[in-house]
Amino acid sequence: MSSSAPLAGHVALVTGASRGIGRAIALELGAAGAQVVVNYASSSEAAEAVVAAITASGGQAWSHRANVADEGEVDAMVKAVLEKAGRLDVLVNNAGITRDGLLMRMKTADWQSVIDLNLTGVFLCTRAVSRAMLKARSGRIINITSVVALMGNPGQANYSAAKAGVIGLTRSNAAEFAARGVTVNAVAPGFIESDMTAELDKEPILAAIPMGRMGSAAEVAGAVRFLAADPAAAYITGQVLQVDGGMVMR
Ligand code: NAP
């Protein structure tokens, strides 16, 4: 493996990679030499554009549509990746949604859809890849949580509960998988420029960020690339790496 392609020969599955942070992660892992599976739910053109960008830079990638909250679709996706590539080294659980609203008026459907995708989706994808990774005695699972899991956020009871659940899941899975060479870590972005944050009132957000600016998707992708790298991050597991411009220091 050359240092410019530290993930050469590795296969990475990135969920929700058609847009935003997932797109940046897919491009970053592709540039690091990994074959990238670009998962998406409905944006097929955007997913194909990510595949095209990776292949245009000399990398390898293909797309796979699957709803990560659907057990059958997740299992079929992982089976297809293993059949096509013969291995799966890195799973990035990135797909996520928001359905914000104050708790008193929050619809049960909005609670449930966020839990189903942002938390159960991470469980389903992790379970689906676990057999192959544990058998190979090697693997990297990187879960995208959020700083709101650590600090709470008015109007995001569903989202912050799901993201806090992802941290508990990360640590339990890290403890279960450690002896078999599979690491499980979380990355907790602060406020990052993306479709998800496009409509937010930026003034109070910027006032709470010591660096005084929102982060970029590429800055989150850099942290994911580090956690996927071997041997740089080989001895790191069960951790939450905050990428938040100093917003939450604890
Ligand atoms: P985004 O721009 O809204 O993109 C969401 C991605 O998730 C899209 O690729 C979308 O695919 C995919 N997706 C949605 N539902 C899916 C499903 N059921 N199955 C598979 N994929 C699905 O979001 P983002 O801002 O990049 O956020 C990415 C992750 O970072 C999320 O987990 C989010 O919670 C977390 N995060 C974001 C921020 C932020 O400030 N932006 C901060 C902290 C944490 P389609 O294009 O096909 O819909």
| Structural domain spans, the chain | 11-243
Neighbour order of strands in the sheet with 60-65: 60-65, 35-40, 11-14, 90-93, 139-144, 182-189, 240-243
- The torsion angles phi and psi of 85, rounded to 5 degrees, stand at -100, -20
Give the nearest ligand 1 atom to 43 CA.
47
Q: How far is the CA of 8 from the centre of ligand 1 (A)?
A: 26
Q: Is 40 a catalytic residue?
A: no
Who lines ligand 1 at CB under 6 A? Answer: 15-22, 39-43, 46, 67-69, 94-97, 117, 144, 146, 189, 191-192, 194-197
CB 187 within 8 A of CB 220: yes
User: CA 197, CA 144: separation in Å to the nearest integer?
Assistant: 15
**Nearest CA, atom 44, ligand 1:** 146
Q: Are strands 90-93 and 139-144 parallel, antiparallel or unpaired?
A: parallel
Average pLDDT, the chain: 97
pLDDT tens digit sequence for 62-101: 999 999 999 999 999 999 999 999 999 999 999 999 999 9
Q: Which of 15, 22, 81, 159 is catalytic?
A: 159
Could you report how far apart the first and last alpha carbons of the chain are, in Å?
Answer: 36
**Nearest CA, atom 18, ligand 1:** 67
- Of the pLDDT bands very low, low, confident and very high (cuts 50, 70, 90), residue 250 is confident
b/e sequence 39-66, b meaning 16+ C-beta within 10 Å: bbbebeebbbbbbebbeeeebebbbbeb
pLDDT tens digit sequence for 8-63: 999 999 999 999 999 999 999 999 999 999 999 999 999 999 999 999 999 999 99
Which residues have C-beta within 8 Å of that of residue 230, sequence separation ≥ 6?
6
pLDDT tens digit sequence for 100-153: 999 999 999 999 999 999 999 999 999 999 999 999 999 999 999 999 999 999
Indicate the fold that domain 11-243 takes in CATH: Rossmann fold (3.40.50)
Q: How far is the CA of 94 from the centre of ligand 1 (A)?
A: 6
- The torsion angles phi and psi of 27, rounded to 5 degrees, stand at -65, -40
Mutate to test the pocket of ligand 1, among 167, 196, 214, 248 (most ligand atoms within 8 A of CB): 196
pTM above 0.75, yes or no: yes
Q: Are strands 35-40 and 60-65 parallel, antiparallel or unpaired?
A: parallel
